[in-house]
Amino acid sequence: MMDWSDRHCRMFHRHISKHTWLYTEMVTTGALVYGDVERHLRFNEEEHPVALQLGGSDPADLATSARLGEKWGYDEINLNCGCPSERVQKGAFGACLMAEPQLVADCVKAMRDAVSIDVTVKHRIGIDDEQSYDFVRDFVGKVAEAGCTTFIVHARNAILKGLSPKENREIPPLKYEYAYQLKRDFPDFEIIINGGIKTEAEIDEHLKHLDGVMLGREAYHNPYVMASFDQRYYGDSSAPKTREQVLEAMIPYIQAQLAQYGPLGLKLNSITRHMLGIMTGLPGARAFRQTLSDSKKLALGDAQLLLEAAARLRITA
């Protein structure tokens, strides 16, 4: 979710669901050890609970980055062992780390020693032609020796050469049964599934076998799918916000962000680009997206554009 689930996206999602855990885009250790820490780690207090996902393979750098994450107030540190992009591979992290479970264990131990918050791992079920369930079972077992008890399983192999990141989300077959078997083999661990999940019915089916479900692209492209999550999964009795109420709630946030960071180059589109999918499935959704993508209107920097776009639909819920 690099360049997608930034703090503006997460704030938008928080207005749809108050309780769902949110995850940052992957932040590399180099960006924190040598770069602008505030730019990468600042977030809105309303985002809690929120996890910082790290990309890296050096235990010392990961420990430093995890410590920074805790200092900035994140609720969880997550190590990415699932991203298959060649850019990430060149940095010797992401999915290629699954070939080195002892190194991942060393990284997890270093982070756990550095912070008091949870350290979790997100990973695939295999890499390249390694199709055996034994591979992911042994990976989880080795990493667990370092004290990790929460594993987020993208239930596809990662093909490190020959497929783009997009193709890696579509071509390798989903094997949900591998995640189910992990839960049976490691019943005391929290096993969360990810990959190709789009509907509440699918979520409900997975929750019969596992401890949690993570949504990625679906939550971004069709964010209002989360509207009923608080009531359905967290026991919240309050009514979900309508789409229009979500847009209205974002206006003060956008105005404040533009006032504070606009002089530094923040544009209205930096926030509204994450909101294009909120009308997915409704008649007029295309007109909404067109209005919210109008470069001339966006250049005016007026957050009321959200309501102008919504006015092109007849919103009843």
Q: Which of 277, 253, 216 is nearest to 20 (CA)?
A: 216
Domains and CATH numbers, the chain: 7-234 (3.20.20.70), 243-310 (1.20.120)
Tokens of 259: 């006032």
Core vs surface per residue 181-208: b (16+ CB within 10 A) or e: bbbeebeebbbbbbbbbeeeebbeebee
| C-alpha span between 5 and 51 (Å, rounded) | 11
What pLDDT score does 317 carry? 36
Query: Phi/psi at 152 (nearest 5 deg)?
Result: -105, 115
| C-alpha span between 174 and 196 (Å, rounded) | 8
Active site residues: 83
Q: Which of 228, 245, 185, 176 is nearest to 205 (CA)?
A: 176
What pLDDT score does 91 carry? 59
pLDDT in tens, the chain (317 residues): 677 899 999 999 999 999 999 999 999 999 999 999 999 999 999 999 999 999 999 999 999 999 999 999 999 999 999 987 666 555 567 889 999 999 999 999 999 999 999 999 999 999 998 899 999 999 999 999 999 999 999 999 998 887 777 887 788 899 999 999 999 999 999 999 999 999 999 999 999 999 999 999 999 999 999 999 999 999 999 999 999 999 999 999 999 999 999 988 999 999 999 999 999 999 889 999 999 999 999 999 999 999 999 887 754 33
Radius of gyration of the chain (CA): 20
Query: Phi/psi at 209 (nearest 5 deg)?
Result: -115, -25
User: Cis omega before residue 252 (within 30°)?
Assistant: no
Instruction: Report yes or no: 299 and 258 within 8 Å, Cβ to Cβ.
Output: no
Core vs surface per residue 211-229: b (16+ CB within 10 A) or e: ebbbbbebbbebbbbbbeb
Q: Which of 22, 20, 46, 16 is nearest to 245 (CA)?
A: 16
SS3 letters for 230-261?
HHHHHCCCCCCCCHHHHHHHHHHHHHHHHHHH
What pLDDT score does 316 carry? 36
How far lies 129's CA from each of 5, 71, 180, 268, 312, in Å? 30, 40, 21, 44, 49
